[in-house]
Structures are given as structure tokens and as C-alpha cells.
Amino acid sequence: MRILPAIDIIEGKCVRLSKGDYGTKKIYNENPLEVAKSFEDHGIEYLHLVDLDGAKSKHIVNYKVLEQIASKTNLKIDFGGGLKSDDDLRIAFESGANQITGGSIAVKDRATFLRWLNVYGADKIILGADALDEKVAVSGWQEESNEKLIPFVKEYQKIGVKYVICTDISKDGMLQGPSFKLYEKLLKETRIHKTSITGAGVEDFEEVGINLIASGGISDYDELPKLRQLGCEGVIIGKAIYENKISLKQLEQFLVAQ
């Protein structure tokens, strides 16, 4: 299971919100590069970087932060927040993103999101499926859509999406534990049984599903093995790191032990 520490950016600074509410902003560090380097120093290979200014502005804003971290660390960065146009996407990848996450765009402009999938491939484009009461939220979680979470994910899975980030907004930043039941349900509902015929004419059964990246509410080290056991491909950890609920040393040990 991949560990993806989160850095959320407002005005170039490392912040955290609670339940996506911009009014709850708390600045943890004014130097995101410093934070990213501390992750890398503890053996972490991945980073979840969110442009919260971009999410509100509906276009990429903090790409210079992305560029700085990408050029001065070896972290593989998943970047999201405000990616709405082909130009936004080009800037993100040119600035060093390894993957990008499209959330609102996948709801509001499916044609563009599907074009991105076709052009860049399913390994580069992550579906952002953040939800409140299993309804997908958009525009930096400021709006609720009419999309129901599981049918929404399944529809995109049929089209070719491999990676899905799912945040239970009610849990985000609350340090009360992740939505184990929601992730278990989502993984179960998106598991597909594939049958193929081998060279010997024998039917071969294979179970495939989405690569689910859990996000929101992580509060304790002991939750990580549980998410891995459920079948999560990755987990995003934010406030638990900044509030010293989970230490970088613990994350380093978890990665070594896998």
C-alpha cells in the first residue's frame, strides 16, 4: 500500500482544512518544500499535493510550488485542485506532476476528462470521487452534485479509470478515523470477475478492481494495516502527520515492513 502524505496549498503555504471548510484554515508551514523534503528523508516516495486556491479559482494557481517540489525532490507527485482545461493539465505535467487528480471536471465536463484519459492514459489520470453521504461533491467541496458515489465510480471504471481517490468529507481533517465501511463497500462493488481461456483451453478466473486511495480521517497508525487489509492501493495522510498523531518514523517503519 502506498503512503501519500498530503500537502494542501493556499497562497503558497502548507495548510489543512476541516471538512473542506476554508474558514477552518490552519497554516502548518510556510515552506512546502521543507515539508516535502522531510517526507522524502523518511523513505516516502509519493506526495499528494492539492492546490486549494486552484480549487476555488477553477484553474491551476500554485503550479510554482509543484515545480519547486518536483525539481528539488524525487517524490512522485499526484497533483489536484482546479484542473479544468487542457492548458491546466499541460502546466501540471510540465511542472512535474507524475499523476493528476480530476474531481469536479469528471462531473461537470466528462468529455474533457475522457479526452485526458485517452491522451495521457489511465496510469496518469486519477478520478477524484470525494463524497458526503455517498453523494459526490465538487468545486473544492463547496457544491454537492447529483452523482451517487458508487455508480459514478463504476461508470468511469467501465470506461477505463484505474485509480480512484475517495475522501469521505465528513471525516476529513477530523482525526476520528477513516470510513472503513465505505471503502469496503466501494472495493466490493467495483470488483469484477474476468474469465479468460488459457492456451490449454482452460478457463482462468481473475478478480480485478480499482486502485482505491483512501483519504480523510486518518488518525492513528493502527488504521494503516486495516486499510491495507481491506485492499486499498494507497492512503493519503494529512492532519495526522501535522498534529503528530502519526510520526514520519512510524510511516518509515510501515513501508519497510510491507
Q: Are strands 131-132 and 125-128 parallel, antiparallel or unpaired?
A: unpaired
Active site residue 130: yes
> Which one from 51, 130, 168, 172 is the annotated catalytic residue?
130
- Whose cell is 492548458? That residue is 87
Using CA atoms, how far residue 47 sits from 40, 87, 118, 191, in Å, is: 9, 22, 24, 27
> Which one from 8, 51, 53, 78 is the annotated catalytic residue?
8
Helices 32-41/248-257 angle, 10° precision = 40
Picking from 18, 25, 48, the residue whose alpha carbon sits closest to that of residue 219 is: 18
Active site residue 133: no
CA distance 121 to 151: 22
Instruction: Give one word for 12, left, alpha or beta, with left for phi > 0 and alpha for psi -120 to 50.
Output: left
Catalytic residues: 8, 130
